[in-house]
A and B are shown apart, each in its own frame.
Chain A
């Protein structure tokens, strides 16, 4: 039985923290923000890994494997494109790298 109260606690605190932190993100970076939070929430891969690796039922293994693939897509693609976008943001006066 999960520790419900503390889970709700964590959710509420994290939601408020998220609101405060993300409010400070410059509108310049709203696109990378979306791809980064998307990559981070692909941490759901840890649940998928457990399902795919515990071999409990055929269904859970199949769905778990598909879920691992879906989450891994977001981890790899999400971090890659976020970094690519951020590399492009340069202040004026700095030398441009070709």
Chain B
């Protein structure tokens, strides 16, 4: 009888090593220099834990395990090779897969154990299944919106919040009933179905620019549901991994919400996009200064310090490689070029950094908001490419503005501001941007990729002649 006991202990030790490696993995991720070591540590931890589980744990048949692993690998490889511009939707999809796994395991654990499920066990199991199910459909919806299969606009209707809260309340009530009467197996499907519906309805009113917060929240839910699963199957390794994932999503949600000056509840229940219809109507006719690529190139070429402010528009126009050429052309002329990255620029945390890194721009040129804002007064040209609300001075100056109080990049403090934009349409929030009407601002109308390309041609052409 001693042999299996030893094996059990060995397995627990391997799990402990895996948990340690996961923690080290995240620790090493803190800086670009050690980050890849972090991925390696995570991989080793994963392989050790899977190996240990396969070798023991009362497994009698490997066929289905192998089929599952093979199918997962076949789906996983293309998801590991997507374009960098598709990373936000890929991330949302991966939250959906994680949540699906958790919800499926929770469901079978319930039916294996019912009707003898202790109260605490049933509580965490309910939490696991509710969070898993709503994160599954919620993440699929988010991925659909990001991939533009679904409309990016917020879809709202009267009583939306009441419906959503009621659904959540009903699923919690079902959970409470099941905790008291775990034998009522017929009720259990409700614990899956209602949160599945809730997940869809929760994401419907959310617009594209809120995606960084929402993806982070879904990340947090996926992690918490995995931790809940750890309680159900009494696995400390899962509890640790789930807690790490959950706290990571939580921190990112807090950072994103702060960067938009909004609370979680406001993001989830606010439907920001439809608030200010009246604000956008009045000011179509105000004059702006425009410039051609030639004029822009002359000003940029004569500058000492240039800060480029990228936004989601740069990603949409796939302009990051042209931006890299601009960076090269200006750097060659001795112009100091930096990039100002707002925390919510793009569609997920860190989106712009990844795109610019893909275009081979050194990461030490990518500065976050706190680091770059003091530099704008000494900046000759701030070049805004596809960003809007995160540069709107109204967030600082106009208490009546819906984005008042949101931290912004102080591009208006640069000596000259250039904005590449398709037209004068207002940004996501539907708010007019004061920046565009300043005397120091030049509007460069056109497609971001084409326009940056034109500027580069002017700069390099001049170099030859």
Contacts and interface: CB of A to CB of B under 8 A. Distances in A.
A91 B364 CA distance: 6
Given A31-B354, A50-B58, A42 B68 contact: no
A46 B235 contact: yes
B413 interface: no
B317 interface: no
B140 interface: no
Given A81-B87, A86-B36, A44 B240 contact: no
A71 B54 CA distance: 15
Interface string B70-93: 011101111111101001001100
Contacts of B350: 27-34
Given A71-B97, A81-B79, A90-B362, A46 B245 contact: no
A14 B243 contact: yes
A68 B159 CA distance: 39
Interface in B95-120: 95, 97-98, 100-102, 104-105, 107-109, 111-112, 118, 120
B354 A60 contact: no
Nearest to B343: A27
B29 A55 contact: no
Given A3-B234, A79-B43, A68 B65 contact: yes
B72 A50 contact: no
B243 A2 contact: no
Interface in A42-86: 42-57, 59-61, 63-86
A37 to B, nearest CB: 4
A69 to B, nearest CB: 4
Contacts of B58: 50, 54
Contact of A68 (B38, B68, B215, B238): B68
A75 B121 CA distance: 27
Taking each of A49, A67, A70, A77, which has the highest tally of chain B beta carbons within 10 Å of its own beta carbon? A70
A49 B95 CA distance: 19
A38 B57 CA distance: 25
B242 interface: yes
Contact of A36 (B29, B60, B242, B364): B29
Contact of A79 (B29, B80, B222, B354): B80
Given A49-B59, A86-B32, A28 B238 contact: no
B133 interface: no
A21 B41 CA distance: 15
Given A47-B233, A81-B79, A83-B39, A66 B68 contact: yes
B300 interface: no
B343 to A, nearest CB: 7
Contacts of B22: 40, 43
Interface stretch (B247-255, B402-410, B417-425): B247-255
Contact of A38 (B98, B239, B341): B98
A41 B35 contact: no
B340 interface: no
Contact of B94 (A27, A47, A77): A77
B433 interface: no
Contacts of B223: 37, 41
Interface string A1-16: 1111011001100110
Contacts of B358: 88
B61 interface: yes
B105 A48 contact: yes
A69 B18 CA distance: 21
Contacts of B118: 1
B221 to A, nearest CB: 11
Contacts of A10: 236, 239-240, 243
Contact of A77 (B71, B80, B105): B80
B54 A38 contact: no
B35 A89 contact: yes
B102 A86 contact: no
B362 A91 contact: yes
A13 to B, nearest CB: 8
A83 B105 CA distance: 28
Contacts of B126: none
Taking each of B46, B77, B97, which has the highest tally of chain A beta carbons within 10 Å of its own beta carbon? B97
Interface of B: 18, 22-23, 25-27, 29-32, 35-36, 38-39, 42-43, 45-46, 49-50, 53-54, 57-62, 64-65, 67-69, 71-73, 75-82, 84, 87, 90-91, 94-95, 97-98, 100-102, 104-105, 107-109, 111-112, 118, 120-121, 215-216, 219, 222-223, 226-227, 229-231, 233-252, 255, 341, 343, 348-351, 353-354, 357-358, 360, 362-366, 368
Given A17-B244, A48-B104, A71-B97, 4 more contacts: A24-B30, A32-B350, A48-B101, A76-B77
16 contacts: A18-B248, A19-B250, A27-B353, A28-B32, A28-B353, A30-B350, A31-B351, A33-B26, A34-B215, A38-B94, A43-B226, A49-B53, A65-B64, A70-B100, A80-B77, A88-B360
Interface of A: 1-4, 6-7, 10-11, 14-15, 17-19, 21-57, 59-61, 63-94, 96
